[in-house]
Chains A and B, each alone.
Chain A
Amino acid sequence: EVQLQESGPGLVKPSQSLSLTCSVTGYSITSNYWGWIRKFPGNKMEWMGYISYSGSTSYNPSLKSRISITRDTSKNQFFLQLNSVTTEDTATYYCARGQGAAPFAYWGQGTLVTVSS
């Protein structure tokens, strides 16, 4: 059974970088697609980007050049880095795995990141 677990700082200062790790067990990240999604206070959800089985990436243009998704196949982990954060980046961040026609079939439990000085 695939399991995903997000980890990283819960508090980041404005203008700094947000870095999160998604640790995957039960399935290799060299298969399928692996994404990051965030949910803002309220109900709005935003797809941030993904990294594919081959290591290629796709990002939401709204995040422009602030985002980077990378991976470490030896540890079966993938990572999110979001630069120059503001308070508007305060959200719960989820990692997820696609399966076939479903882009987000399996989700991590989520991690709340607050951007505040």
Chain B
Amino acid sequence: DVVMTQTPVSLSVSLGGQVSISCRSSQSLVHNNGNTYLSWYLQKPGQSPQLLIYKVSNRFSGISDRFSGSGSGTDFTLKISRVEPDDLGVYYCGQGTQYPLTFGSGTKLEIK
């Protein structure tokens, strides 16, 4: 299975600040078709996860441009700029390149 390693486990940020979350995969996430199926999700308190980013850097419908994804191969980053109170929760990366699909262990974002 592809192991997804997220860092940090948790972080605290001031409103209006910027944060980065790292996600590393144990194998390259480049599919045979040339696409890289790396997604980011946010689970807000008391809610189900929501898709933020797919295929490394594509924002899902309705997602603010304050969220941006980057990376390639095995190293990926989610950046959140101008952090707002509604951004708190647990962020997960997930890979869809190889079966079984796997997720990172999560990064908890707290607001200072």
Q: Which of B49, B58, B102, B106 lies in contact with A104, CB distance below 8 A?
A: B49
Q: Is the CB of B103 within 8 A of A45?
A: yes
Residue of B nearest to A103 (CB): B96
Q: How far, in Å, is A34 (CB) from chain B's closest CB?
A: 13
User: Which of chain B's residues 41-62 have a Cβ closer than 8 Å to chain A?
Assistant: 41, 47-51, 54-55, 58, 60
Q: Is the CB of B48 within 8 A of A107?
A: yes
B positions within 8 Å CB-CB of A: 35, 37, 39, 41, 47-51, 54-55, 58, 60, 90, 92, 94, 96, 99-103, 105-106, 108
Q: For B108, what are the chain A residues with a Cβ–Cβ distance below 8 Å?
A: 43
A62 at the interface (CB under 8 A from B): yes
Chain A interface size, as a band, is 20 to 34
Q: Is the CB of A94 within 8 A of B90?
A: no
Docked pose: A47 CA to B41 CA in angstroms:
14
Interface string of A59-88 (1 = CB under 8 A from B): 011100000000000000000000000000
Q: How far, in Å, is B30 (CB) from chain A's closest CB?
A: 13
Q: Which of B54, B90, B92 lies in contact with A102, CB distance below 8 A?
A: B54
